[in-house]
């Protein structure tokens, strides 16, 4: 249940460093000269499906070429572990040496002046699924073959130089192979795709081979569902859940974005997901699909919500400082949206809330372990995930109910998300903890500085959820870390009963 985004921040840092040094950007780096845009060609061959040939033209900045740093199991050469036969030359055909850096996590030194265009050619071995990925969040983030299809993660394919720009990618594949791509196909070309920026290039799912390809549209958003053959019979149900949730997310944020989006679902031995820039991967246990929907729909709703929160629009200026928000609020909205749209019932929803509260309780009561604040916990999200997710979703719940109570139902957390989307997401601006506090204050008309200082920025206080749940007539009983939520019958015909219906979207159903 992860998301990644690094480049907008990296770009801002790089640009300011260059300005400070008096270095001006070549035209290509500012994205103005289309002829100098980076271009890649991937060639897949049915006879050697585990190898892809790549030809690229890139502009070198800082005498360095590299692959994406993250999302691989901390191998010495990073994603370059799977790269073979890298050849580089300048545009007039003069060979240039690209030397793999020792301890460079998959980067190369290349001695050419800034702004030099180089041609690259190399082979990528698609054998990542021979490696264990548990140390970096699990197999959902690993390129993997399953039942005749390659569920790729695009960072496996591309060597680039550190500057953001629009790019094009040509993908040649055997006629019998299908493909699901988050990139927009350029008109007049069969297999040429426009890539809007570096994040989109290296942080996306790309599926090729034999799989079920389903599609739907929601407003201006186009969704392709790439489904493992082993899961064929559930395709329509997945699409229905996706569409229903998109309607609800569009209601919260005002609209779905004008974007191509890929949902890749494959069979595995666990339920998990990883969100990318405009796509997500999900792994699912086929034998459990007949059971309660919440077991997989929670993951699906979570990854889909990341399109807005965490992976694409709302992103942290310092990513780790807002993990409690990008993960915790995403988790809160995933199950709340399933409840509001009738995809799960109230009893199931209460169980989800009880799990969040239990995670928060357990991770704040582990004596003698030193307590961290939610903001600090994001620095080691892998280790602190129970706290980041449980604590973050508990904060979302408390703030949502408190804003509703304070504004007598006129406003809620949905309005905070919408405001943040308008102010940051749609403006391509990153946000900080302070910005989330400001939005909560603005929507509620109150001051939540003490709340943030105590429970989000501070590490000592523990938030008792009972008074917040009481706003909507829900009783919370706790025994150690076990929470039991019940709706008090006496509250139903009172203002708190009305707030309850509004919170869970029950008045919409009437
Ligand atoms: Zn997540």
134 CA distance to ligand 1 centroid (A)? 16
328 CA distance to ligand 1 centroid (A)? 8
380 CA distance to ligand 1 centroid (A)? 14
160 CA distance to ligand 1 centroid (A)? 27
Domain 2-208+269-292 has CATH 2.60.40.3650: yes
Q: What is the pLDDT of residue 34?
A: 53
311 CA distance to ligand 1 centroid (A)? 9
320 CA distance to ligand 1 centroid (A)? 13
Nearest by Cα to 156 from 106, 193, 196: 106
286 CA distance to ligand 1 centroid (A)? 22
Kindly list the distances between the CA atom of residue 35 and the CA atoms of 188, 200, 282, 441, in Å, as whole numbers in the listed order: 18, 20, 37, 47
151 CA distance to ligand 1 centroid (A)? 19
Kindly list the distances between the CA atom of residue 40 and the CA atoms of 72, 117, 170, 190, 401, in Å, as whole numbers in the listed order: 22, 13, 6, 15, 49
Q: What is the pLDDT of residue 385?
A: 95
Nearest by Cα to 392 from 309, 300, 322: 322
The whole-angstrom separation of Cα 44 and Cα 269 is 28
Q: What is the pLDDT of residue 103?
A: 87
189 CA distance to ligand 1 centroid (A)? 35
382 CA distance to ligand 1 centroid (A)? 11
330 CA distance to ligand 1 centroid (A)? 7
pLDDT digits (tens, 9 = 90+) for 418-474: 999 999 999 999 999 999 999 999 999 999 999 999 999 999 999 999 999 999 999
237 CA distance to ligand 1 centroid (A)? 22
254 CA distance to ligand 1 centroid (A)? 22
72 CA distance to ligand 1 centroid (A)? 17
477 CA distance to ligand 1 centroid (A)? 28
326 CA distance to ligand 1 centroid (A)? 7
The whole-angstrom separation of Cα 56 and Cα 121 is 6
113 CA distance to ligand 1 centroid (A)? 40
61 CA distance to ligand 1 centroid (A)? 33
Q: What is the pLDDT of residue 369?
A: 85
349 CA distance to ligand 1 centroid (A)? 19
The whole-angstrom separation of Cα 200 and Cα 5 is 10
2 CA distance to ligand 1 centroid (A)? 4
Nearest by Cα to 333 from 237, 417, 435: 417
309 CA distance to ligand 1 centroid (A)? 9
200 CA distance to ligand 1 centroid (A)? 18
274 CA distance to ligand 1 centroid (A)? 7
Q: What is the pLDDT of residue 510?
A: 55
Give residue 40's Cα distance to chain centre: 24
373 CA distance to ligand 1 centroid (A)? 19
Q: What is the pLDDT of residue 291?
A: 87
Q: What is the pLDDT of residue 428?
A: 93
Q: What is the pLDDT of residue 35?
A: 61
275 CA distance to ligand 1 centroid (A)? 7
Q: Could you tell me the residue ranges of all domains in the chain?
A: 2-208+269-292, 319-509
CB-count burial class (<10 Å; 0-12, 13-18, 19+) for 347: exposed
pLDDT digits (tens, 9 = 90+) for 381-420: 989 999 999 999 999 999 999 999 999 999 999 999 999 9
How does pLDDT run along the chain (510 residues), one tens digit per residue?
A: 555 444 444 444 443 443 344 333 333 344 445 567 899 999 999 999 999 999 999 999 999 999 999 999 999 999 999 999 999 999 999 999 999 999 899 999 999 999 999 999 999 999 999 999 998 989 999 999 999 999 999 999 999 998 888 899 999 999 999 999 999 999 988 899 999 999 999 999 999 999 999 999 999 999 999 999 999 999 999 999 999 999 999 999 999 999 999 999 999 999 999 999 999 999 999 998 988 999 999 999 999 999 999 999 999 999 999 999 999 999 999 999 999 999 999 999 999 999 999 999 999 998 888 899 999 999 999 899 999 999 999 999 999 999 999 999 999 999 999 999 999 999 999 999 999 999 999 999 999 999 999 999 999 999 999 999 999 999 999 999 999 999 999 999 999 999 999 999 998 765
């Amino acid at each position: 249940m992860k998301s990644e985004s690094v480049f907008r921040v990296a770009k801002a840092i790089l640009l300011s460093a260059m300005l400070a040094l008096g270095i001006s950007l070549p035209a290509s780096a500012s994205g103005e000269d289309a002829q100098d845009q980076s271009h890649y060609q991937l060639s897949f061959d049915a006879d050697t499906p585990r190898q892809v040939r790549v030809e690229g033209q890139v502009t070198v900045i800082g005498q360095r070429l590299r692959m994406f740093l993250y999302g691989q199991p901390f191998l010495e050469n990073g994603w370059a572990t799977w790269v073979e036969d890298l050849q580089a030359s300048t545009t007039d055909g003069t060979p240039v040496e690209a030397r793999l850096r020792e301890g460079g996590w998959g980067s190369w030194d290349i001695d050419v002046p800034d702004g030099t265009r180089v041609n690259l050619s190399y082979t990528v071995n698609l054998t990542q699924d021979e490696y264990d990925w548990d140390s970096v969040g699990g197999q959902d983030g690993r390129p993997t073959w399953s039942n005749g299809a390659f569920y790729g993660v695009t960072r496996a394919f591309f060597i680039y130089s550190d500057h953001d720009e629009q790019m094009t990618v040509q993908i040649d594949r055997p006629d019998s192979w299908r493909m699901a791509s988050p990139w927009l196909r350029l008109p007049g070309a069969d297999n040429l795709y426009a890539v809007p920026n570096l994040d989109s290039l290296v942080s996306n799912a790309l599926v090729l081979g034999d799989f079920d390809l389903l599609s739907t549209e929601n407003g201006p958003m186009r969704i392709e569902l790439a489904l493992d053959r082993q899961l064929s019979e559930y395709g329509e149900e997945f699409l229905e859940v996706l569409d229903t949730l998109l309607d609800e997310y569009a209601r919260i944020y005002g609209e779905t974005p004008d974007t191509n989006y890929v949902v890749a679902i494959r069979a595995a031995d666990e339920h998990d997901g990883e969100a990318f820039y405009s796509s997500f991967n999900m792994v699912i246990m086929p034998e459990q699909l007949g059971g309660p929907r919440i077991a997989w729909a929670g993951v699906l709703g979570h990854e889909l919500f990341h399109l807005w929160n965490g992976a694409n629009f709302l992103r942290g200026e310092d990513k780790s400082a807002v993990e409690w928000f990008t993960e915790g609020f995403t988790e809160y909205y995933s199950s709340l949206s399933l409840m509001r749209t009738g995809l799960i019932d109230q009893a199931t929803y209460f169980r989800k809330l009880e799990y969040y509260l239990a995670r928060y309780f357990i991770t704040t009561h582990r004596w003698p372990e030193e307590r961290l604040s939610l903001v600090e916990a994001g620095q080691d999200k892998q280790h602190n995930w129970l706290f980041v997710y449980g604590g973050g979703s508990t904060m979302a719940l408390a703030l949502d109910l408190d804003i509703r109570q304070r504004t007598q139902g006129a406003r809620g957390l949905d309005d905070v998300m919408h405001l943040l989307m308008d102010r940051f997401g749609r403006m391509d601006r990153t946000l900080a903890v302070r910005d989330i506090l400001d939005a909560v204050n603005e929507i509620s008309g109150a001051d939540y500085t003490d709340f943030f200082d105590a429970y989000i920025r501070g590490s000592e206080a523990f938030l008792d959820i009972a008074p917040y749940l009481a706003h909507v007539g829900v009783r919370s009983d706790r025994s150690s870390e076990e929470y039991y939520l019940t709706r008090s019958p006496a509250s139903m015909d009172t203002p708190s009963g009305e707030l309850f219906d509004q919170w869970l979207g029950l008045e919409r159903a009437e």
